[in-house]
Amino acid sequence: MSLHITSSYPDVRGYSLNQSSMLKHKFTAWGMSAFLCLAMAHCGAPGKTETKEEKPATPEKKYASQPLVSHIYTADPSAHVFDGKIYIYPSHDTATGAPENDNGDHFQMMDYRILSMDSIGGKVTDNGVALSLKDVPWASRQLWAPDAAFANGKYYLYFPAKDKDGIFRIGVATGTSPAGPFKAEPTPIKGTYSIDPCVYTDDDGASYLYFGGIWGGQLQHWNNNRYDSTAQLKKPEETAFLPRVARLSKDMLSLAEPVREVKIVDSTGKLFTEKENDKRFFEAVWLHKYNNKYYLSYSTGDTHNLVYAIGDHPYGPFVYKGLLLKPVDGWTSHHSIVEVGGKWYLFYHDTQLSGKTHLRNVKVLPLQYNADGSIQPMSAFID
């Protein structure tokens, strides 16, 4: 959909003579009313001069980056370099009119559209619909944040969706091009659940599937990989929920092992509690490798931070290091980190175009490491 900016002020140049005359009488009446109001204000209490306090102008936000595309709404960007080209696998936000709530029922995405570009800052191509909800046999609704991988001479699109019982599962679709189209497998990946899949392929060729998200992502209903519809969110003093991981089979269509928790700890080796919600895991896990260290980044959700932790193995544990991206416009933060031409970049989203939490736009910022391997915190705004 194209976005157009329209003026809220009336344009009288196209009015007929009679219409212009009517407007003239209205403007005259408005002027007389204004004069009377001013006169009445002047005749206030004797010896008292009333002045209107002027409010300081609100400074206009200056964004550090602009949306990659504006003809559609996009979010949750998973970026990869395939065949020397940048491919971005986002959610496709649409305005469905569904009521908003904390479970995200208003995020009713119905297809995936893959973006591509030859270089950062270059022209962005929308490659059209790569996979539609109607073509996923097991899914009922909500195609949320996806990811992609390449192996066995094929491309794999991993995605969450609710099954016929309303439970989030993770599915996979295959294709011969990174831009799609993709054909979904008839059933979700056995043993998977919740949302936000991320696939990381290590130097030895082993691929790992990370996933999980609380609240609408339903992770709170899973304990020891068993579903409990009555399970509740954690209390403030309880240990926070953790993301999940499992190594993928060589066919990239199934899990090679049971799903396990990914431990995220503080500098003393202690797991975070739910009340430490500016650091604990909420959703949107992403893994990348830099200087032989594994970086696990994720969203803190209700405190709107992107943060990161570092470990020595894909399974963790990961030691919390700090802030990655400060809160952006909108409720959610969801991202990916990718190396392009020897430089690193953070892909993320905000709501600059719409101002609506469910109608987002994808952006990108350069990412900088310090000499000790830590990441310099970023802001979506220019001070």
DSSP-derived 3-state class of residue 360:
coil
Smallest Cα–Cα separation from 111: which of 128, 123, 95? 128
Active site residue 50: no
Active site residue 147: no
Instruction: Say what the pLDDT of residue 98 is.
Output: 76
**Is residue 108 predicted with pLDDT exceeding 60?**
yes
Instruction: Say what the pLDDT of residue 220 is.
Output: 98
DSSP labels for 61-103?
P-BSS--S-SSSEEEEEEEEEETTEEEEEEEEE----PPP-TT
Q: Return d(Cα 289, Cα 287) in angstroms, integer.
A: 7
Confidence of residue 59 (pLDDT cuts 50, 70, 90): low
Residue 186 near residue 137, CB atoms below 8 Å = yes
Mean pLDDT of 97-107: 80
- Lowest model confidence (mean pLDDT) among 18-32, 261-275, 292-306, 335-349: 18-32
DSSP labels for 273-296?
BTT-TTTS--EEEEEEEETTEEEE
Instruction: Say what the pLDDT of residue 163 is.
Output: 98
Mean pLDDT of the chain: 88
Instruction: Say what the pLDDT of residue 383 is.
Output: 85
Q: Of residues 93, 147, 196, 283, which has the active-site annotation?
A: 283
Q: Of residues 76, 93, 196, 329, which has the active-site annotation?
A: 76
Smallest Cα–Cα separation from 340: which of 154, 87, 155? 87
**Is residue 91 predicted with pLDDT exceeding 50?**
yes
Domain ranges of the chain: 73-367
Angle CA 235–238–243, to nearest 5 = 100
Q: Return d(Cα 15, Cα 29) in angstroms, integer.
A: 19
Give the H/E segment covering residue 36: helix 17-42
73-367 homologous superfamily: Glycosyl hydrolase domain; family 43 (2.115.10.20)
Residue 231 near residue 223, CB atoms below 8 Å = yes
